[in-house]
Structure 1
Amino acid sequence: MDRVTKLAQQKAVVIFSMSTCCMSHAVKRLFYELGVSPAIHELDEDPRGRDMERALLALGFSPSVPAVFIGGRLLGSTNTIMSHHLNGSLVPMLKEAGAIWL
């Protein structure tokens, strides 16, 4: 859990992902298209990925990815991110976290 928490605070946007997950791909693409350069941690490519996956599951993620942190705060997974994007609240969150300067 400590590793996930520390990594989540290293950049304005941090995404825990799996390289083969289509939902993770969609979330990463959304952030790229918004001009965000997130820190991405591919759990299936990290030697400690299983431990981080268990920590995310303990936080209530099922499935464990994608897990998105903005400004060091856990925001959620695909449904939450897309809901914030569609209702217009995602961009202000990104601005507040310093991830974009539109």
Structure 2
Amino acid sequence: MDRVRDLASKKAAVIFTKSSCCMCHSVKALFYELGASPEIHEVDHDRDMERALQRLGCNPAIPAVFIGGKYVGSARDVISLHVDGSLKQKLIEARAIWF
């Protein structure tokens, strides 16, 4: 879990994904569309990382999105934040994007 926390806090936006996950692809595309360049950690072959995400409360474990070092949720949560307009503000506050 310390490794996840450490990775999540190194960049303004961090996404833990799997290459075969369509929702992971959608979340990454949304971040790129908003002008963010999140750090992406593929956990395809890292079961320990996936278990650590679950122990931290990430449910489902993938995709797991962190902004400003804080867990903001999975794909459904990120899309909800985008729809209500708060995702962009969170990215601005974390300095993942500038306006």
Scaled to the shorter chain, the TM-score interval is over 0.9
Residue segments in structure 2 that go unaligned for 5+ positions in a row = none
Aligned to 2:96: 99
Q: C-alpha separation between the residues in 2 aligned to 1:51 and 1:95?
A: 31
Identity %: 61
TM value normalised by structure 1: 0.93
One-letter amino acid of the counterpart of residue 90, structure 2: M
1:62, distance to aligned residue in structure 2 (A): 3.5
1:60, distance to aligned residue in structure 2 (A): 2.6
List structure 1 segments (4+ residues) > 2 angstroms apart after TM superposition. Answer: 59-63
Q: C-alpha separation between the residues in 1 aligned to 2:3 and 2:39?
A: 14
Aligned to 2:59: 62
Q: C-alpha separation between the residues in 1 aligned to 2:13 and 2:58?
A: 18
Further displaced range: 79-88 or 54-63: 54-63
CA RMSD, 1 decimal: 0.9
Contact 2:59 2:74 in 1 (8 A): no
TM value normalised by structure 2: 0.95
Q: C-alpha separation between the residues in 2 aligned to 1:62 and 1:87?
A: 21
1:81 to 73, 78, 83: 78
Residue segments in structure 1 that go unaligned for 5+ positions in a row = none
Q: C-alpha separation between the residues in 2 aligned to 1:63 and 1:97?
A: 24
Aligned to 1:7: 7
Further displaced range: 24-33 or 53-62: 53-62
